[in-house]
């Protein structure tokens, strides 16, 4: 699977991976989604990412909420994951954390229009309401709004 993502890397400078794919920090974790920038491709091995991803996305569930907001947040911060996104579908809440200059997470804001602008993935922005929209927005409309096409 990651070989397919590697082709995306050549085109966009990023690798997008989803579970099950292990990210090895102090211990192994399988984030729901992770992004690896071109400058960190040396961390990408056949069976795992050896070191922090640039962005980790966790989609919470009632069983994982405390682990995602506590243990994983602390582990990803200590491990150097630049951005940690917590998506809580039950509460329709999205929290974004970025490492500051001292290596601690701080909450990252969304703008006045409800859009999150990633620093770890230059040019990427997410309209948070899309996460809860029923039906989900059409992919082409999202790509147009993000000015990717």
**Assigned token pair, 61:** 């569930």
Strand partners, 55: 35, 83
pLDDT higher than 60, residue 12? no
Block residue for tokens 């071109």: 38
Q: For 105-135, what is each residue's pLDDT tens digit?
A: 999 999 999 999 999 988 888 889 988 888 8
Write down the pLDDT at residue 36.
Answer: 85
Residue ranges per domain, the chain?
2-113
Per-residue model confidence (pLDDT) at position 8: 40
Pairing, β 33-37 against β 28-29? unpaired
pLDDT tens by residue, 94-105:
999 999 999 999
This prediction has a pTM of: 0.83
Per residue in 62-93, pLDDT (tens digit) is 998 999 999 999 999 999 999 999 999 999 99
- Superfamily in which the 2-113 domain is placed by CATH: tt1808, chain A (3.90.1570.10)
| Cβ neighbour number for residue 97 with a 10 Å cutoff | 20
Tell me the H-state helices in 1-134. Answer: 2-12, 65-66, 72-79
């Amino acid at each position: 699977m990651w070989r397919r993502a590697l082709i995306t890397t050549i085109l966009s400078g990023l690798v997008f991976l989803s579970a099950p794919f292990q990210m090895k920090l102090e211990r192994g974790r399988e984030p729901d989604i992770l992004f690896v920038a071109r400058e960190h491709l040396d961390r990408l091995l056949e069976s795992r990412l050896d070191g922090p991803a640039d962005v980790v996305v966790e989609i919470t569930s009632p069983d994982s909420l405390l682990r995602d907001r506590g243990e994983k947040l602390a582990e990803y911060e200590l491990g150097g994951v630049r951005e940690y996104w917590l998506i809580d579908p039950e509460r329709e809440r999205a929290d974004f954390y970025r490492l500051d200059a001292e290596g601690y997470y701080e909450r990252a804001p969304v703008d006045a229009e409800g859009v999150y602008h990633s620093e770890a993935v230059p040019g990427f922005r997410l309209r948070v309401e899309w996460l809860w929209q029923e039906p989900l927005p059409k992919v082409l409309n999202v790509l147009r709004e993000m000015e990717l096409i």
